[in-house]
Amino acid sequence: MDNIVAQIEQGMDFPAVQNQLESFIATRQSLVLATHDVQGECELGVAPFVHVDGVFAVLLSGLAPHTRHLEHEPRAQIMLLEDEAETRQPYARLRMTLSCDVTWLAREHERSDALFELMQARFGSIVPLLRGLNDFHVFILTPRHGRFIAGFGKAYRLEELRVVEHLRG
């Protein structure tokens, strides 16, 4: 049996799965963000994002619980989900989860202008308005590891955003 599994694993088209993952990320506009407070209570929210150079950039208000949580623990988990209207089978819904290291990006940082431009191109005139508010900050979410579920029997382990292993029970 192990030989059959090894043969199947060798025959897997990881580049095709990687392309599917990258296409999936490119078609999403928002992510689910999970953080936790000092007591360990989890907070879930949704944030629009831009994906560039292997990281996700989000613009969060200082009034949001996530921002306070990230100040004391610069780690988060994120999830991207296939739209329910596109999903034929909810149990096989396309999705990706990632554990990320989080970095606050100062407005004066050389990278800030480029990220704000990408955000404005993607989300429109709301971005300059939010940028003008002092309580909004850019956070960079750098993927460490996670999973990509592409359907039944199609679960993959990710290192950063690279498909590295087909998971099976």
Domains of the chain: 2-167 (2.30.110.10)
Q: Identify the bridge partners of residue 36 per DSSP, sorted by sequence position.
A: 42
**For 120-165, what is each residue's pLDDT tens digit?**
999 999 998 898 888 899 999 999 999 999 999 999 999 999 999 9
Residue with tokens 């991207």: 80
Question: Rounded distance, CA 106 to CA 108, Å?
Answer: 5
Beta strands in 10-54 (DSSP E): 30-36, 42-52
**For 30-77, what is each residue's pLDDT tens digit?**
999 999 998 989 999 999 999 999 999 999 999 999 999 998 899 999
pTM: 0.88
| Proportion of the chain in helix, strand, coil states, percent, rounded to 5 | 35, 40, 25
Task: Using alpha carbons, select from 153, 142, 143, 144 the residue that is nearest to residue 17.
Answer: 153
97 touches 77 (CB < 8 A): yes
Q: Are strands 30-36 and 155-159 parallel, antiparallel or unpaired?
A: unpaired
CA dihedral over 36, 37, 43, 46, signed as positive or negative: negative
